[in-house]
Structure 1
Amino acid sequence: MATTFAVIYTYTDDTELRDATRPAHRDYLREFVDSGSLLVAGAWAPAEAPGGLLIFRAEDKSAVQAIVDKDPFTTSGVVSAADIREWAPPLGPVAGALTGQA
């Protein structure tokens, strides 16, 4: 059974590298959107520290780690840290869908 995972990316301050790598990063993530395993992803707002949030449905944390490890943002050095956490939100209009209870 699939579990929900939140991935919190912290980016380096190298905005040129980030901008140059973004198309490959998005192309890479599209395959996981198309397969249904990536539910949503996006960067923090400009006023926040550089980084982003990705929400995955996967069998286990190691499957998400494998995706993160091959992300062009990771392999090129845009991501300075990736925190992967199992997430089970109990409240809200999409909580049931995220926890497999819907």
Structure 2
Amino acid sequence: MITKELVERINALARKQRTAGLTPEEKEEQHRLRRQYLKGIRGQVINALNNIKFVEDEGSCSCGQSHRQHTHRLPRGKQGSCGCNCHQHEPKDPIH
């Protein structure tokens, strides 16, 4: 997990590295903290990707609305004002 203290310590070691240099122990600590930080970032990305919800999975049209949400009426065989051309509706159904 990425905490404020973790980021502050990584930054403090980076500043010291640029000015006075790091001892071997500090270099090891810096390496360990950076690995911990990257592990946290990777976990956040994986979590975000796992929470993506695809609209297409719910039977939506190219306009982004589900077939049940459409309220505009169409003449038979015409494309909807939303640009939907999904062909999911029965030809006898005047509601798109």
TM-score, scaled relative to structure 1: 0.21
TM-score, scaled relative to structure 2: 0.22
User: Greater Rg, structure 1 or structure 2?
Assistant: 2
Question: In proportion to residue count, which structure has more strand?
Answer: 1
Question: In proportion to residue count, which structure has more helix?
Answer: 2
